[in-house]
Amino acid sequence: MLKAVLFDLDGTLADTDPLHLLAWREVLAPYGLKVDPAFYRERISGRLNPEIVRDLLGLEGKEAERLIAAKEARFRALAQGLRPTPGLPEFLERIREKGLLWGVVTNAPKENARHVLEALGLRPPLLVLAEEVGRGKPDPLPYQLALGRLGVAPEEALAFEDSPSGVRSAVGAGIPTYGLLTGHEAEALREAGARGVFRDFREALGLL
Q: With the C-alpha atoms ordered 167, 22, 103, 81, is the resulting torsion angle positive or negative?
A: negative
Backbone angles phi, psi at 162, to 5 degrees: -120, -5
Instruction: Cite the beta strand spans of the chain per DSSP E.
Output: 4-7, 101-106, 127-129, 157-161, 177-180, 196-198
Note the helical H segments in 122-163.
130-133, 141-150
Residue type, 200: D
Measured N-to-C along each axis, helices 17-28 and 61-78 cross at an angle, to the nearest 10 degrees, of 130
In the residue annotation, 36 being an active-site residue is answered as no
The answer for 185, left when phi > 0, alpha when psi is -120 to 50, beta otherwise, is: beta
* Cα–Cα dist 202/94, whole Å: 11
Catalytic member of 10, 17, 139, 162? 10
Instruction: Cite the beta strand spans of 35-153 per DSSP E.
Output: 101-106, 127-129
Compute CA 76 distance to the chain's CA centroid, rounded to the nearest angstrom: 16
In the residue annotation, 17 being an active-site residue is answered as no
Residue 179 carries which DSSP code? E
**Annotated active-site positions, please?**
8, 10
